[in-house]
Amino acid sequence: MTTEASIRLDDAPLNKFHIKMAGLTFGAHFTDGYIIGVIGFALTLIQPQMGLTPLWVGLIGSSALIGLFLGSLVLGWVSDYIGRQKIFVTSFIIITLGSALQFFADTPMELFLCRVLIGIGLGGDYSVGHTMLAEFAPRKHRGVLLGSFSVIWTFGYVAASFVGFFMQNLGPDAWRLMLATSALPAFLILILRIGTPESPRWLISKGRKDEALAIVQKHVGPNVVLDDEAEVDSHQKRSFMALFSKEMRKRTVFNSLFFVCLVIPYFAIYTFLPSILNLMGLSENFGTDLLLNVILIVGAVLGIWFTVIFSRRGFLIYSFIFLSVMLVLLSVLPTSASFLMILVFAGFTLIMSAVSNLVGVFPAESFPTEIRSLGVGFATSMSRLGSAIGTFLLPISTASFGIQFSTMGLAIVLIIGTIVSIAWAPETKNLTLTEAATKDERTVKTALKGEK
């Protein structure tokens, strides 16, 4: 029964449980950044030892992204049927196992398969991690919590740079230990996730309201009540076709396209950063890497602040415009203008890192409970497919057409992202999770005026 003192789940105050769920989800993003970051250093040792061809270098470099595509697509769909919590735990069993198996890989194919397996686990976690936290988090803090994923991912990526730099001189087989170290944080997160509760919003969508209320009042507060009864009567099918229904198709296409348009240049550039800097005529050393890593972290932290003070829609659109201009400049500036190129590259890095926070916010806020994991998983899978293709093709493009042509190609991708965002980006700030996932733009604007 509700009382005057009752608080809706979306309006509950932030407590230790929310922080714990955020920490468990953040740990996954740290592991993801670490796994993606460490492979670049490992490949410098693996390539001569295994005699890798450029094809195998590209395949191994993009293998985790390929797995992410598969895992987020399939496991996100599965979680909407069997529950978030089961995939929340199972995904890290897969990641831990795949990370450890890398130590024993003796052929390119074995290493490729190990990293695809890791990517499948990461993809499943992307689908349910964002969803679990979004479905527990109060709307006042949801943007900050979801946007913080990018910061933690960046810390993982930077940590991998340090580990790779200092371990690469331990011998020709140092890559085995280097890659296997990702099993340590993965195993720790797995242990801590055991016993986490199911998402109450998912339970509501299955008609299990009593179980949902018990979880909410145990972990969020005894006076917290559920206000999502309408979702019990939802008849929307949990299938991929539901994502392309009349009500959802614009959200699905928008989340997939904006996500893809951000991550293609992000992964393509920073996976091959040393060679790109050299091709641009800029000196590359550990000091340069450290500077850019610091800018990545600063940008990610700024992104949290920007998510709080700016509208979601405005932040995304103006960031796309800025990034497009920066890449166009990098494609036309002469290599003799080194100082200006460094300045432009630093600005690009800062804003790219900042706006990347929105990839954890928009998808989780755009879909109703019954297909939220499916929607987040689909958008994530499309982004990782795009990033895998971009990462694979960039070395071929720079070798065949040069760095300026390739940079202009990436700028065109960002321009497409700008157009998509202007046309379709919704405004979800200050709305409850249900409102954000179901209202059209005109109704959203009315709701926001009412909030003010």
Q: What is the pLDDT of residue 449?
A: 47
Superfamily (CATH) of domain 7-451:
MFS general substrate transporter like domains (1.20.1250.20)
Side chain identity at residue 220, one-letter code: V
The whole model's pTM is what?
0.73
Token look-up 């190129």 returns: 341
Q: Which has more confidence, 360 or 14?
A: 14
Does position 181 have pLDDT exceeding 90, yes or no?
yes
The two tokens of residue 303 are 């992104």
Mean pLDDT of 219-229: 72
In order of 111, 161, 175, 268, the CA distances from 49 in angstroms are 13, 21, 10, 25
Contact between residue 369 and residue 131 where contact means Cβ atoms under 8 Å apart:
no
Mean pLDDT of 192-211: 85
**DSSP states of 37-90:** HHHHHHHHHHHHHHT--HHHHHHHHHHHHHHHHHHHHHHHHHHHHH-HHHHHHH
Q: Tens digits of per-residue pLDDT, 325-368? A: 999 998 888 877 777 888 888 899 999 989 988 887 787 777 77
Contact between residue 426 and residue 299 where contact means Cβ atoms under 8 Å apart:
no
Q: Tens digits of per-residue pLDDT, 19-35? A: 888 888 888 889 988 99
Contact between residue 232 and residue 204 where contact means Cβ atoms under 8 Å apart:
yes
Residue (of 427, 424, 423, 419) closest to 321 by Cα position: 419
All structural domains of the chain with their residue ranges: 7-451
Mean pLDDT of 431-435: 53
**How many Cβ atoms sit within 10 Å of the Cβ of residue 452?**
5
Q: Tens digits of per-residue pLDDT, 363-419? A: 777 777 667 767 877 887 788 788 888 877 877 787 788 888 888 999 999 999 999
Measured distance between the N- and C-terminal CA atoms of the chain, rounded to whole angstroms: 30
Q: What is the pLDDT of residue 94?
A: 95
Residue (of 148, 150, 158) closest to 293 by Cα position: 158
Q: Which has more confidence, 2 or 339?
A: 339
Side chain identity at residue 153, one-letter code: W
Residue (of 165, 166, 158) closest to 297 by Cα position: 158
